[in-house]
Amino acid sequence: MWNEIKRQIINVPRKSSFDIYSNLIIMFCKEDYRKTIMIREELYNKGISDIVETEGNLPRFTKICQELHQRKLYSWNEIVPLVKKVTGFTRHSPIQRHIQIFKKIGILNQRGSMYTLSSEGRALIEITKDKTSDEILTLSEKIFYFKTFFKNAFYQLFILLQTIDERQELASQEELIVDYFNRIINSPFRVWKKESLRRDIEIYGSKGNLQRGLRNKFGCMRTWLKHLELLERKNIILSSLGKEILRNIKSNRNDLSERIYGMANIYINGKVDTLPHFNYLNNNHKLSAIELFKLAYSLFERHELRMSDAKSMKYFICNKILVNRQITMEKNSFDRFLHQLQREGQIRSIIPNDMGKIAYISR
């Protein structure tokens, strides 16, 4: 956009350049405003609705993915017994909810009647390859799930953090839950049916009986936040990391997806966006990124295509360079890094998908 503005200013007569410049600035501001509105609308329409407390166990998510990695494709009749084996569930409904959540958060793809791990799911497998405990999230896992949930369920988690922070003095958990869902009802968030929420809250107001659906939704999200260390383990109180994230989101929530790893700095030193951002001109940054690039290329290579999955590589490299080298690399930085490697001849070709985003890399 700015290059177009400069081009038009340069190519107009001198006496009219100010008017042209003013009009173009207005056009740019309108475009930027439209982009902001689109981002907000996406946040309001994006979330995870069908949840109960059994879906709060994030280490179990990883364990299911590790089992799914044994094969490329699963039918419904094949994936259900696998999830049942890992979770121990005997009822069909929690198994189905797990599969639906995996699709919602982008670690499982459905192609017709078949299911397969997504690029993100394959990156999770490699990130957790050396994991030793099935009960505790590793540092890499925390960063992975932090990115995943704040990308796919941002608004419902943001409101939850805000509610807990502002209502810590409430005497009962029930009042906190009711306050949270009242805020959801009065917000633009559209994932849950608000008439159902109102009806459940009215029952609580008249009979003092909090409906199981509200408890389950709240309990699941609370468990996610505890696994991510944004809540204290024993109480429904924001941890120091939770307070830092909430403060940062309040100050600027519009560009969240473009600074997610900067926010994930909290898992390294307790503060948002304090670690150095990736700079290709910094030799240490460059060598660290190229080392991880070579490893990631081999891990996610599609030998039949002679190409590697760029999305898996991005998730892997951005995660590992933060964990192992304390360098923040956002998605835009990663894309620029690939184009720089291409200019230097270290990448033969970059193949975009239908949306114009980088899909595959060939060396």
In which band, very low, low, confident or very high, does the pLDDT at 43 lie, cut at 50, 70 and 90?
A: low
pLDDT beyond 60 at 18? no
In which band, very low, low, confident or very high, does the pLDDT at 44 lie, cut at 50, 70 and 90?
A: low
In which band, very low, low, confident or very high, does the pLDDT at 42 lie, cut at 50, 70 and 90?
A: low
Q: What is the pLDDT of residue 172?
A: 84
CB atoms within 10 A of CB 255: 12
Q: What is the pLDDT of residue 305?
A: 86
Structural tokens at position 231:
């809540």
Structural tokens at position 221:
């999200």
Yes or no: say if 101 and 60 are a contact pair by the CB < 8 Å rule. Answer: no
Start-to-end Cα distance in the chain? 31
> Radius of gyration (Cα) for the chain, nearest Å?
23
Q: Which carries the bigger pLDDT value, residue 160 or residue 38?
A: 160
Widest distance between CA atoms in the chain? 77
- Calculate mean pLDDT across residues 289-301: 97
Query: How far is residue 56's CA from residue 61's CA, in Å, rounded to a whole number?
Result: 9
pLDDT beyond 50 at 33? no
Closest to 270 in 3D by CA, of 248, 254, 255: 248
Query: How far is residue 57's CA from residue 226's CA, in Å, rounded to a whole number?
Result: 10
pLDDT beyond 50 at 340? yes
Q: What is the pLDDT of residue 255?
A: 67
Yes or no: say if 58 and 224 are a contact pair by the CB < 8 Å rule. Answer: yes
Question: Worst-scoring range by mean pLDDT, 31-40, 79-88, 99-108?
Answer: 31-40
Q: What is the pLDDT of residue 253?
A: 64
Yes or no: say if 178 and 203 are a contact pair by the CB < 8 Å rule. Answer: no
Query: How far is residue 342's CA from residue 302's CA, in Å, rounded to a whole number?
Result: 19
Q: What is the pLDDT of residue 70?
A: 87
Closest to 65 in 3D by CA, of 23, 24, 103, 112: 103
pLDDT beyond 60 at 313? yes
Model pTM? 0.87
* SS (HEC) of the chain: CHHHHHHHHHCCCHHHHHHHHHHHHHHHHHHHHHHHHHHHHHHHHCCCCCCCHHHHCHHHHHHHHHHHCCCCCEEHHHHHHHHHHHHCCCCHHHHHHHHHHHHHCCCEEEECCEEEECHHHHHHHHHCCCCCCCCCCCHHHHHHHHHHHHHHCHHHHHHHHHHHHHCCCCCCHHHHHHHHHHHHHCCCCCCCCHHHHHHHHHHHHHHCCCCHHHHHHHHHHHHHHHHCCCECCCCCCECHHHHHHHHHHHHCCCCHHHCHHHHCCHHHHCCCCCCCECCCCCHHHHHHHHHHHHHHHHHCEECCCCEEEHHHHHHHHHHHHHHHHCCECCHHHHHHHHHHHHHCCCCCEEEECCCCCEEEEEC
